[in-house]
Amino acid sequence: MKSNRSVWIALLVLAGVLGSVDARAQAPDSTRLTLTDVEREVLARNPSLAAMKKAAEAASARAEGAGAWMDPELSFMVAPASLAAGGPEGTYRLALTQRIAPFGRNDAERLEAGARFDEASADVQSARLDLLRAARVAFAEYRRASESRVAHETMENLALELRQVALAKYAAGAVEQQDPLTAGVEAARLAHHGVLLESERRVAAARLNTLLGRPAAAALAPPAADDAGGALMLEFDPDSLVHAARGARPEVQAAVARVAARVAQRRVAGASSWPGLMLGISQDRYMMDPRIQTSVELGIELPLFGGRSARKLEAEAEIAAAEAEHQSLVLQVESEVVEALTRYEEAVHDLDVIDQGVMPAAGQSVTALRAAYAGNRASFLALIDASRSLSEAQRDRIDAVARRDIARADLARALGNDGGMAAMGEMR
């Protein structure tokens, strides 16, 4: 009777171990690392994004100065001998000239510089979205590795408790020695697998630290519990998402800006085919007659050389290339949206199946078999197999959550959305 009592005590402890998985995962803790914290730190510390912002500022400065008139030219010429002669006035020539670009070229240069700035700004936004996706994926991998390690520790404790149950039954003479030996082998196997999981957690932490601009081996707070909402995106059909992505993706906006820049470049080349002007006024004391010492000059720049025709052909070819690139990018955006949405829906479905069917069945199986084993109605191998099935179900759920979060990150990136799924939910 005393041995059976110890068996049931061990089984009650085992039940507490099984129930601790979700509690440990959902326990609120203000010291845990959240995705919002990761996104904020990655955007604030990444040097590549800072460099691209400076490049956009430079493009903005160039756009402000583009198309301006050329600086006037002031020239002065003097005859030194006339000064040495001791006359009342020396002999000199003073002239001020201003070059005027061909009609329309300044406006075209302003348009080109403005398009270059739009392209640089879109590149900054694209880099920002890439960083956010990388941060979200790295955080999902870190949370997967951390939660896998926590769940595995729970299963290690479960294996130890099963071994205690087997030892108690063996001491009572209810089972053969094979049961506690099998439990010991299972505990050793889990301990070895735990080392592998810890290595995966450290690798995931190192990758996340690198994105955060911290030493790879720096300690990281444990990740916050999964706070993702339901299947928000299932309310939208792929066509509406593709349409939204075409207007929001910065790569598409950059491609449009490149086309505009090439068109403006062609206008610059076309305007350069027209003659430019040069206006000037001079005071020439070399002239003896005072009536002709002051003169107004008008010059014409003849577009005879300089390869203007070649530049026009080059501009036409670059326009065609930019338009083809834009069309290709639009098709790529459509493919990325459909692919990411499909993987997201698949992960949400897998998670729902695991939560609604697999996990409850696996838990009930362990509960039923541990009671049956205590009453000598089930074998220890069956109980071990059930515990393994529960462990696999827990790992499958953690993997499904990670796959869903990564698919969410990919979908947000495909839609050009830097606010994640919360902002996408506002589309309703």
Residue-wise pLDDT for 158-217, tens only, equals: 777 777 877 877 777 777 777 778 778 877 887 888 888 888 889 999 998 888 888 888
**Spatial separation of the C-alpha atoms in residues 64 and 412, rounded to whole Å:** 34
pLDDT tens-digit readout, 348-379? 999 999 989 888 888 888 888 878 877 778 77
Average pLDDT over residues 412-421: 76
Domain that holds residue 306: 2-425
Confidence check: pLDDT of 137 > 90: yes
CATH code of the domain containing 305: 1.20.1600.10
- Please tell me the distance from the alpha carbon of residue 258 to that of residue 253, in angstroms, as a whole number: 9
Write the pLDDT tens digit of every residue in 104-121: 777 888 888 888 888 888
In the chain, % of residues over pLDDT 70:
85
CB 147 within 8 A of CB 107: no
On whether the CB atoms of residues 249 and 333 are closer than 8 A, the answer is yes
> How confident is residue 26, by pLDDT bands cut at 50, 70 and 90?
very low
pLDDT tens across 316-355, in order? Answer: 888 899 899 989 988 998 898 999 888 998 999 999 999 8
pLDDT of residue 228: 57
Instruction: Please state, in angstroms and as integers, the Cα–Cα distance from residue 6 to each residue in 3, 165, 168, 179, following that order.
Output: 5, 8, 7, 16
Q: What is the pLDDT confidence band of residue 15, given thresholds at 50, 70 and 90?
A: very low
Average of per-residue pLDDT values in the chain? 79
Cα separation, 428 vs 36, whole angstroms: 23
Query: What pLDDT shows up at residue 275?
Result: 79
Closest CA to 373 of 394, 387, 361: 387
Residue 203 is predicted with a pLDDT of 92
**Distance, first Cα to last Cα, the chain:** 65
Phi, then psi, of 221 in degrees rounded to 5:
-65, 150
* 352 Cβ neighbours under 8 A, 6+ residues apart: none
- What span, in angstroms and rounded, lies between the C-alpha atoms of 280 and 296? 6
Query: CA 344: distance to chain centroid?
Result: 17
H or E, element range at 62: helix 47-65
**In the chain, what are the helix, strand and coil shares in percent, each to the nearest 5?**
70, 10, 20
What gap in Å lies between CA 90 and CA 84, rounded to an integer? Answer: 9
pLDDT score for 90: 63
Between the alpha carbon of residue 218 and those of residues 45, 202, 371, the distances in Å are 16, 10, 45
| pLDDT at res. 239 | 83
Rounded average pLDDT over 304-321: 79
Q: Is 215 or 302 the better-scoring residue by pLDDT?
A: 215
Q: Residue range 144-154: average pLDDT?
A: 85
- Residue 418 predicted with pLDDT over 50: yes
Please answer whether residues 285 and 89 qualify as being in contact, where contact means their C-beta atoms are separated by less than 8 angstroms. Answer: yes
The per-residue pLDDT for 5 is: 47
Q: Using the structure block, give the residue that is written with the tokens 């501009």.
A: 315
Q: Which whole number is the average pLDDT over 278-303? A: 84
- Looking at the predicted structure, is the pLDDT value of residue 290 above 90? no
Whether the model pTM is above 0.85: no
DSSP annotation of 214 reads S
- Percent of the residues in the chain that have a pLDDT greater than 90, as a whole number: 9
Give the mean model confidence (pLDDT) for residues 91-95. Answer: 84
> What is the pLDDT at residue 83?
65
pLDDT at 230: 43
For the segment 257-267, the average pLDDT, to the nearest whole number, is 87
CA dihedral sign of residues 338, 344, 347, 351: negative
Give the E-state strand segments of 223-314 in sequence order.
Answer: 276-284, 294-301
Point out the least confidently predicted range of 21-25, 225-229, 316-320, 321-325: 21-25
Q: Which residue's entry shows tokens 């326009």?
A: 319
∠ CA 278-284-289, nearest 5°, is 125
Provide the number of structural domains found in the chain: 1
Residue 210 CB coordination number (10 Å): 13
pLDDT of residue 193: 82
